[in-house]
A and B are shown apart, each in its own frame.
Chain A
Amino acid sequence: MTTQTLAETGQVKRAISLRSVLNNAGIGLALLALILFFSVFTEHFLTANNITNILTQITINLILAVGMTFVILIGGIDLSVGSVMAFAAVVAGKAITLPGFGPAEAIALAVVAATMTGVLCGVFNGVISAYWALPSFIITLGMLNIARGAALQVSDAQTIYAFPIAFEEFGSAMIYGVPVVFIVALLLVLVAWFVLNYTVFGRLLYGIGNNEEAVRLAGHPVFWYKVAAFTICGFTAGIAAIVYMARLNISSPIAGIGFELNAIAAVIIGGTSLSGGRGSVIGTLLGAIIIGVLANGLILIGLSDFMRQMITGIVIVFAVILDHYRAKYTAK
């Protein structure tokens, strides 16, 4: 390369990185602005207790949203995560209350039961939608009903309780005021970030979201990658079930109704494109925090829960409009 092209190169690179920084930083700045706003206008927002409170509240949504990011990145959607979480919780609840196990074995059994239930539901979603090239919207809508029905059937529509003490302690444990369950969620975010950015698997998921045919033509088994994305989403629903049980000490077959919508909202607010191929799990983390901060802050400044819901909805619509312009901008 000549010196001239090298100089041009530098400029191009700067321009592009500036743009990408603006893209990602936009969400961060929005979050900072929100935090600033609520800190100034409410007394209790920026207190240790309240922050702990927010982190606890967003944990389950964040876990579901991490899995949802994988599915949305390949251009799919998973509407079943709320129901699958309830189903997994009920199965795990049955497992953990089986007689004849010590607390440690019972908890291990519950974790395996919950994640396996989630994984199986995810495999179902993935295989059916990828094999017949059906819209995942419909297939997972089916799974939403299947899993909810299964949860009610397995539990006989009864709430399951009386879990080991250790399990309960895990659910409410704190490290320096940070809930342990939130740390679990953060670890998931980190693993997902690593997988999406540093592995062949992650690279090809982005590729599939952008141009499935090009990836297929390059000789990659697109079918299995898609199945894997849905399976990961099911897996996180299983993890969410465990956290839910540990937090509330019950397994309810009617838990998690509407949770899929919050998870999708977190992913979209976080800047991941609904059409796939673009976005990041760090954005999803910020998106989930924004939803949590809004929910908490709006109540603190005295708005009703109905108003909070309306404003969250407006933020989602705004995020999608923003994504439209972002897509147009990068296409140029």
Chain B
Amino acid sequence: MNEIKENILGDIEKVEPLLKVDGLCVSFDSPNGPVPVVRDVGFYINPGEIVGLVGESGSGKSVTALSLLSLIPSPPGHITAGRSIFEGNDLLKMPNKRLRKIRGNRISMIFQEPMTSLNPLMSVGDQIAEVFRLHVGSSKVEAKELALKMLKKVQIPAPEKRMKEFPFQMSGGMRQRIMIAMALCCNPTLLIADEPTTALDVTIQSEIMDLIIEMRQEFGSAVLMITHDLGVIAETAERIIVMYAGQIVETGSVNEIFDAPAHPYTNALLQSLPVLGRRARFGRQRLQEITGTVPDPADLPAGCAFSNRCPNVQDICKDTSPLLNETNIQRSVRCHFPLTLNSDGEA
């Protein structure tokens, strides 16, 4: 399962990445023994860059993100291998005390469920002020003022009044704005957004995405945007990482991924998208669903994890796991028969 990545290490010297994850493995305990849910995941994020991490639910993308800050519930979750180098230090080996100074400060997170991610018994003002008290060491009064400023920044109407309100008095979109405000308090260099719009109404979704982009421009943070919906990041991300069954199956720039997907899974994901502005693939009018289901991480196919759903499956796919082949630093694919090599047509 371990792949050699010497060439990528050689190339990377050109730009010093903000975060570099290497060989990350996470498993969850089950009654029948540990189940690997993240398998040898490696990627990098450059300063100020927006990277999309895409995959169906159960692909291990959220677990990957949570593992970066050691936020997976443990037990049952365990990080079994890997490094996550952030500003020169390995987050995974760091003592808890130092890691806490990074959480919510240098690296912040926004979660999927704005409904349950805020403490229901604390006013939103207090919840934001808590971050300033903790990382900036502000006094109570200062923290409140700073929190109010943050509410204004994320364009919450009547912020003075909202400060004193509780999460249950707010809509989902409003709560997600609060979460964003909370995440940006300390001007983080990396913002991890775990499906930030999934639980919201469609109209609110784009507002929140716009806000994240706007905030990123203002604060200059890099963003790791996790989503199951390629459409969400088509307009925003610079690079895309596609995950399937706990592994990275394809990486590339947005243009590469959308115009010439190399992995059959990425291709299938794209075909399941409704027509999307300039990125739409011409000639594909009908939405196509991917047949079959994501394999159970406790019971993976012997060869390629996608072999049971792949339209181009061959004998070798069923018993040999393909390696992640890197054509250059940002382009890689895990497939015995990558599409861009086999098919001409649109690619």
The answer to whether A and B assemble together is no
Q: Which residues from chain B sit less than 8 Å from chain A, CB to CB?
A: none
